[in-house]
């Protein structure tokens, strides 16, 4: 039986640029710390012009909507009432 190898590379990246082109596609530029690629740069170079799946999970801020205050280390955001 043949098994499909999982070639997933999970890294955190900075979304550096997003802009539509006149070709009907949007270019997305990501910046990744080279050390996080851990030797996968050659594999990535082989994927240029190939289809890949990209899952983007932005940093999220939890909004404190109750009156309890916890020392959780999060930056307090003032909410307009």
Structural domain count, the chain: 1
Q: What is the pLDDT of residue 72?
A: 66
Residue 14 pLDDT more than 90?
Answer: yes
Q: Give the span between the Cα atoms of 41 and 47, in whole angstroms.
A: 10
For the record, the structure tokens of 56 come out as 């983007």
Residue 80 lies in a domain: no
Tokens found for residue 50: 């190939």
| Residue 11 predicted with pLDDT over 80 | yes
Q: Is 77 helix (H, G, I), strand (E, B) or coil?
A: coil
**Selected residue with higher pLDDT from 24 and 67:** 24
Q: Report the percentage of the chain scoring pLDDT > 90.
A: 32
Report yes or no on 62 lying in a domain.
no
Domain-embedded: residue 39:
yes
Tokens 């307009």 locate to 80
Question: What is the torsional sign of CA 49, 5, 55, 30?
Answer: negative
On whether residue 64 sits in a domain, the answer given is no
- Predicted TM-score (pTM) above 0.85: no
Q: Is the dihedral of CA 57, 45, 29, 19 positive or negative?
A: negative
What number is the average pLDDT over the span 60-65? 70
Domain containing residue 23: 1-57
Q: Is residue 81 situated within a structural domain?
A: no
């Amino acid at each position: 039986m043949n098994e499909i190898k999982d070639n997933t590379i999970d890294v955190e990246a900075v979304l550096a640029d997003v802009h539509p082109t006149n070709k009907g596609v949007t270019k997305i530029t990501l910046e990744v710390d080279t050390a996080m690629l851990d030797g996968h740069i050659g594999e990535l170079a082989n994927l240029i012009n190939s289809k890949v799946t990209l899952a983007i999970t932005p940093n999220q801020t939890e909004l404190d909507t109750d009156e309890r205050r916890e020392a959780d280390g999060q930056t307090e955001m003032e909410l307009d009432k």
